[in-house]
Structure 1
Amino acid sequence: MTAKIPDTMRASILLSQDTLTIEERTVPTPDRDQVLVRVAAVGVCGSDVHFFREGRLGDFVVNNPLVLGHELSGRIVAVGSDVDSNRVGQRVAIEPQRPCAQCQECRTGRYNLCKKMEFFATPSIDGAFAEYVTIQDAFAHAIPDSMSDEAAAMLEPLSVAIASVRKAGVTPGSSILIAGAGPIGIITAQTARAFGAKDIIVTDLIEEKRERALKFGATRVIDPVATSIESLDLDVEAFIDASGSPRAVDSGIRALRPAGTAVLVGLGNSTMTLPVEQIQNLELNVTGIFRYTDTWPTAIHLVSSGQVDLDSLVTGKFDLDHVREALDSDLDPTSLKSIVYP
């Protein structure tokens, strides 16, 4: 270790549903293949909010104290014995997961589906609302000095968008419908534009969010309550749901042209009714997205080249003592992305 590192650190702890506290914890020591990162910025994700308000997200239940936060950037301050010591001092964006590297999913390149995955801020793996974290060397991605800490942290949601747009088959000249103009929807619209989509249609119930989508890649916005999506005959090649709304999923699938692709990203109902006859008769592809694989290099390029703007998405900044306010910031319709600075 070449940097002065304290013995303890502050961390925001979710003790149980709707109960947060600040604790002093021991600074973790990196394993031989890990790096120790001084956390610079952490984005607040919808999954953090679910764990905070409901104590669970799908099958993941908070039964023990948990550190939230998985969208993060920072600086390497120490390395394990197998890691190049020249990495100390590097600014990095963190891919917040540790696959087993042994199972069939890992060996075939689908490590996001590893059944033994250790993912930040998922019970019982602590996340990044803390001053220091450790991560495997390969998942600490070096970033250019031109990239802000905030943008580097948001490479994680950008990775979700990249994985979704790839799976949707978006290519130059494509048409795409995106349901939901929250952070993922807005970032997906920018990503679709970067991938060459010509028509990028975004739906949302809230006027402020629709107007914002037009500033970040959307070529057209629709209020799905005022206007029936099914009546518009959009005939798009791709549909990405970033809302989790069963109604949005149904109408989005119906808006696809033959052989189109629907990608379900939003956190919605565990079960919902789908237009099966439409899917069969038009040979539609309906799939989901679960995190990402090998997206950080693309994400770094898209931001560094100016094709995706993440800095302008930041609408709130909070320290560890105000994590509750950061988690509740989504209650304001003008809020888009909040950042915590440990």
Structure 2
Amino acid sequence: MQACALTDVGEFTHIERERPDVASDEVLVRINRVGICGSDIHYYQHGENSGNVVEFPHVLGHESAGTIVEVGEAVQSVAPKDRVAIEPGLSCGECSYCGNDTYHLCKNMEYMSSPPTDGALVEYVAWPEDFVYKLPESVSLREGALAEPLSVAIHACERAGISEGDSVLVTGGGPIGQLVAEVALAHGAEDLVLTDIVDSKLRLAEQRGVDHAVNVGTDDPVEVIESAVDQDGVDIVIESSGADPAIETTTDAIKRGGAIVFVGIPIDAALPTDVVGIIGDEYDLKGSFRFSGTYPEAIEGIQTGKYDVDSIVSFERGFEETQAAFDEASESANVKGVVRVSDE
């Protein structure tokens, strides 16, 4: 089979690999669509991400969907020709985190595209039955691939505890920020503010239902919140950019007794607060890492129209144009790029 491997920093090479065999509990998926994540871009540009260093050659891509072509002898829930979304994380199933809904915190997690585990920019992937999800006919394979970033957004909003009538600030208008805003609105958030420095991303956010889109290059988001939302701040802040200025804004924008959730991964940033501040204002600081058990909700939400993941896609390119796709995805004006591995 064909694989598109990262063979050096900034360099993809199409290579031949053996088509994988399936174990008794696995399925073989012909990959159709793969979304390009910010972490993939970081590996492409720097050869590492959050301390994980690539050993070349390495295959990227963890937002994927495709069609089953073969199943192992013990597989019962899916069959050949089923269209599926692939949940990219494989927990060990044995540690204390794996016995409940915290399996995403498993310290032995193997995650597609995170070294040393190869990703989905290949023609075929063998994957356990328990981590593939059948797609309804009305959900496209591209939408199925984007169930992964949607799952990140769902988990972040769950961590925030968003409820009806909450005011929310989302920092960052990239794919996660756009989807976090949509999930927050679906949970009943009102007066939703989204910030970025790129006007096209702010216009997209407005089209997708955001109440206040603020360009932080020209406007102070805290002033906008105080004048247009509440002089005391917002109930919830979800930091989705990983940018230092946005991280610093979180504690200025939060209302006393509110909650701040960090989901964007910074290169190197300190918490923008001190213990006295946390005590005096009694706000919660939380992290949000990947997701667990969210794929069924994500797929159902796409099917019912509750969530629109397709509109965050800025472009799509063919498998042979993977490197060009990564270069295009690196441009700040683009929200989400998708690689079309197969037309089948």
Mapped pair 1:263 → 2:261: yes
Of the three residues 69, 75, 78, the one matched with 2:67 is 75
Cα deviation 1:145-164 (Å, max 9, x = unaligned): 00111111000000000000
2:218 corresponds in structure 1 to 226
Mapped pair 1:318 → 2:310: no
TM-superposed CA distance for 1:46, in Å, is: 0.5
Cα deviation 1:34-71 (Å, max 9, x = unaligned): 11101111101001100000000011000231110000
1:20 corresponds in structure 2 to 12
CA contact (8 A) 1:254 1:278 kept: no
Partners in 2 of 1:17 and 1:105 — Cα distance? 34
Of the structure 1 ranges 145-154 and 330-339, higher mean CA displacement relative to structure 2 is found in 330-339
Of the structure 1 ranges 328-337 and 9-18, higher mean CA displacement relative to structure 2 is found in 328-337
TM-superposed CA distance for 1:331, in Å, is: 3.8
The one-letter code of the counterpart of 1:304 is Q
Of the structure 1 ranges 34-43 and 216-225, higher mean CA displacement relative to structure 2 is found in 216-225
Mapped pair 1:10 → 2:5: no
1:26 is paired with a residue of what secondary structure? coil
Partners in 2 of 1:265 and 1:217 — Cα distance? 21
TM-superposed CA distance for 1:166, in Å, is: 0.6
TM-superposed CA distance for 1:334, in Å, is: 3.5
Partners in 2 of 1:56 and 1:50 — Cα distance? 7
Of the three residues 82, 87, 106, the one matched with 1:90 is 82
TM-score of the aligned structures, taking structure 1 as reference length:
0.94
Judged with a 3 Å threshold, the aligned counterparts in structure 2 of structure 1 residues 119 and 283 are, in CA distance, closer, same or farther, namely same
Partners in 1 of 2:340 and 2:251 — Cα distance? 39
TM-superposed CA distance for 1:274, in Å, is: 1.5
TM-superposed CA distance for 1:89, in Å, is: 1.5
CA contact (8 A) 1:244 1:267 kept: yes
1:245 corresponds in structure 2 to 243
2:144 corresponds in structure 1 to 152
2:103 corresponds in structure 1 to 111
TM-superposed CA distance for 1:317, in Å, is: 1.4
CA contact (8 A) 2:42 2:49 kept: yes
1:337 corresponds in structure 2 to 336
2:121 is paired with a residue of what secondary structure? coil
CA contact (8 A) 1:16 1:62 kept: no
Partners in 1 of 2:32 and 2:107 — Cα distance? 30
Of the structure 1 ranges 181-190 and 326-335, higher mean CA displacement relative to structure 2 is found in 326-335
CA contact (8 A) 2:78 2:134 kept: no
CA contact (8 A) 1:246 1:273 kept: no
The one-letter code of the counterpart of 2:166 is S
TM-superposed CA distance for 1:273, in Å, is: 4.0
2:149 is paired with a residue of what secondary structure? helix
Of the three residues 192, 200, 206, the one matched with 2:198 is 206
2:54 corresponds in structure 1 to 62
Partners in 2 of 1:330 and 1:254 — Cα distance? 31
1:284 corresponds in structure 2 to 283
Partners in 2 of 1:28 and 1:219 — Cα distance? 48
1:50 corresponds in structure 2 to 42
2:14 is paired with a residue of what secondary structure? strand
TM-superposed CA distance for 1:333, in Å, is: 3.9
TM-superposed CA distance for 1:108, in Å, is: 3.3
Alignment of structure 1 residues 299-318 onto 2, 5 Å? 299-318=298-317
The gaps in structure 1 that reach 5 residues or longer are: 1-8
The one-letter code of the counterpart of 1:243 is S
CA contact (8 A) 1:79 1:85 kept: no
Judged with a 3 Å threshold, the aligned counterparts in structure 2 of structure 1 residues 107 and 77 are, in CA distance, closer, same or farther, namely same
The one-letter code of the counterpart of 1:239 is V
Give aligned-pair identity as a percent.
35
Mapped pair 1:177 → 2:169: yes
